[in-house]
Structure 1
Amino acid sequence: MILPSTLTFLVGIAEHNDRDWFQDHKADYDKARENVLEFTRSVIRGIALFDATVPADLDPKSCVMRIYRDIRFSKNKTPYKNNFGIGISRQGKNFDGAGYYLHIQPGESFIAAGSWQPETQQLKAIRQEIDYNGADLLELLNNERFVKLAGDLSAEDQLKTMPKGYPADHPMIHYLKLKSFNAVANLPDSLLTGDQAAEQVVDMFETLHPLVVFLRNAVN
């Protein structure tokens, strides 16, 4: 489970995002990070049971993202993130295709599975797969458990115009216009701090796993 103290630390860093506060609470950060690493280890082991591409012994340190922000090219100069981001694939957070993401932030935690802003060749391959095998995508998206958990693919990241090579009246145009292919589900704080948190998160990822398989098959 995620300890309440971990969420408390994140609330604190959101309210006091400066180096002095962070140094004064470095011990709280270290405890929170260790808690997130252990939680990630449990989630990795669970995912490995249904996704053979994810090693059960994958080091959680390769999955948990740094809390330090890169402010070199950002107008936002706050030095720290107010969340823990966790990317899980065979290469940890360094995705080479579709995978899983866990975001821990008080009141705004969520999971996501799929492919976020794939590079050009992968994007073309995914669109071609949707064009050729749209019925397979619709079948998994219409699965009762999938719909109950995520509803549909996120439409947050999509083209304003038609993708090149596809007509406006294409039956799958809604999905062909996407630039990212992700299913997202919110995580209440009460779920994350519950005794069965890791098991529940793994179960959610397993529900979204068919989307990951579809996207991987598209680029392989």
Structure 2
Amino acid sequence: MKKTIAFLKQLETNNDRDWFAENKSIYQESLNEFKAVFSDIETLMKSHDIIDTAKVFRIYRDVRFSKNKLPYKTHFSGSFGRKKPELRGGYYVHIQPNNKSFIATGFWDPNKEDLLRIRREFEMDDDEIRDIMSNKLFKSVWGTMEGDELKTAPRDFDKEHKAIDLIRKKQFIFTKKYTDKEILSSGFINSVNENFKTIKPFFNYMSDVLTTNLNGESLI
């Protein structure tokens, strides 16, 4: 992705509409390069998951309610969605120069019903999710769970519960960083696909939780 990285580096120091307009053809070439890589990742992922949405995000920033008035993002990104309602979770690819690229996966913004269901599952039994996250391969790729969380226990939950560290979570996210060298390597696409594969036990668990009640009865 040489064109992509080169363009984004230039954009970082020339983030204005005049420069962008003058370099619109270079932007389009770099965007097309990113889209091709994104499409190749999707093709590989469809061999082991059911992807029903794939979206490349716009580079134009919404500055209406932001203190940062720069008109353009300095990265390319896109997301993949799994087939709902039976399969839950999503994937994200973020390409940004100066070793700021990463992939992410998990649950960015669960609705209040799903969030409560997940918390009740953790309250009832947190052994399975902890076993998944402590798996050697899983941890070597994704490290520890990230995401926003409450400072204290949610309403109607015991702040002394042994799983309160999980119950406080509002997001359930895992990320893996990539260097520019890794982005530009011939093995990048396969690496992203293989790393996304390793999230499957977590997705299987969460999908099961979100499609059943606390008695294990199907909701779909």
Per the normalisation by structure 2, the TM-score is 0.88
Counterpart of 1:121 in structure 2 is 113
Match of 1:104 in 2: 95
Deviation at residue 132 of structure 1 after TM alignment:
2.8
The alpha-carbon deviation at position 35 of structure 1 amounts to 0.8
Pick one of 176, 180, 191 that aligns with 2:167: 176
In structure 2, how many angstroms separate the alpha carbons of the residues matched to 1:15 and 1:110?
Answer: 21
Residues 160-201 of structure 1, C-alpha deviation per residue, up to 9 Å, x if partnerless?
A: 121122212212111111110011111111111111111000
Match in the other structure for 1:151: 143
Q: Counterpart of 2:124 in structure 1: which amino acid?
A: Y
After superposition, residues 1-220 of structure 1 pair within 5 angstroms as 3-51=1-49, 53-55=50-52, 62-90=54-82, 97-106=88-97, 107-154=99-146, 156-220=147-211
What is the distance in 1 between the residues matched to 2:179 and 2:137? 18
Measure, in 2, the Cα distance between the counterparts of 1:30 and 1:193: 19
Number of corresponding residues: 207
Contact 2:82 2:88 in 1 (8 A): no
Task: Give the partner amino acid of 1:47.
Answer: M
Which portions of structure 1, spanning 4 or more consecutive aligned residues, are displaced by more than 6 angstroms?
Answer: none
Return the alpha-carbon distance in structure 1 between the equivalents of residues 191 and 197 of structure 2. 10
Shift of 1:16: 1.1
RMSD of aligned alpha carbons: 1.7
* In 1: Cα distance, 2:117 partner to 2:104 partner: 21
Letter in 2 for 1:206: K
Aligned-residue offset at 1:129: 2.3
Higher-Rg structure is 2
What residue identity is the alignment partner of 1:34?
A: N
Aligned 8 A contact 1:158 1:179 in 2: yes
Give the alignment's TM-score, normalised by structure 1: 0.88
Structure 1 gaps of 5+ residues are none
1:97–1:77 CA distance, 2 compared to 1 (3 A) = farther
- 1:63–1:87: 8 Å Cα contact kept in structure 2? yes
Alpha-carbon distance in structure 1 between the residues aligned to 2:198 and 2:190: 12
In the TM superposition, residue 97 of structure 1 has moved relative to its aligned partner by: 4.7
> Higher strand share goes to which structure?
2
Seq. identity, %? 31
Distance 2:121 2:38 in 1: 32
Task: Give the match for residue 215 of structure 2.
Answer: none
Q: How far is 1:20 from its partner?
A: 0.6
Residues of 1 paired with 2:207 and 2:139: CA distance?
21
Q: Which amino acid aligns with 1:187?
A: Y
